[in-house]
Structure 1
Amino acid sequence: MIFIVVKWTPKPEHVEDFPNLVADFTKATRAEAGNLFFEWSRSLENPAEYVLVEGFRDGDAGGEHVNSEHFKAFTAAAPSFLASTPEIISQAIDADGWGEMGEITV
Structure 2
Amino acid sequence: MLTIAIRFRVRPEWTTRWLDLVEEFTEATRAEEGNAWCWWSRSVDDPCVFFLLEGHREAGVEDHLASPLIRKIQREWPQALVDTPKLIIATVPGDGWQTMEMLPVPPHSPS
8 Å contact kept, 1:66–1:72: no
* Post-superposition offset of 1:36: 0.3
Aligned to 2:109: none
CA radius of gyration, larger in: 2
Q: Does 1:84 align with 2:83?
A: yes
TM-score of the two chains, using structure 1 as the length reference? 0.93
Aligned to 2:43: 43
TM-score of the two chains, using structure 2 as the length reference? 0.89
What's the % identity of the aligned pairs?
Answer: 34
Give, as a single letter, the amino acid of the residue that structure 2 aligns with 1:23: E
Distance 1:43 1:12 in 2: 13
Give, as a single letter, the amino acid of the residue that structure 2 aligns with 1:90: I
* Post-superposition offset of 1:75: 2.1
Report the 3-state secondary structure (helix = DSSP H, G, I; strand = E; otherwise coil) of the residue aligned with 1:97.
Answer: coil
* Post-superposition offset of 1:76: 2.0
Q: Any stretches of 5+ residues in structure 2 without a counterpart? A: 106-111
Give, as a single letter, the amino acid of the residue that structure 2 aligns with 1:5: A
Distance 2:80 2:65 in 1: 20
Aligned to 2:57: 57
Taking only aligned residues, the RMSD between alpha carbons, in angstroms, comes to: 1.0
Report the 3-state secondary structure (helix = DSSP H, G, I; strand = E; otherwise coil) of the residue aligned with 2:87.
Answer: strand
Aligned to 2:20: 20
Q: Deviations over 1:59-82 (max 9, x none)?
A: x41121111012221122111111
Distance 1:36 1:89 in 2: 17
Distance 1:95 1:73 in 2: 32
Ranges of 4+ aligned residues in structure 1 off by more than 3 Å: none
Report the 3-state secondary structure (helix = DSSP H, G, I; strand = E; otherwise coil) of the residue aligned with 2:19.
Answer: helix
Distance 2:62 2:82 in 1: 26
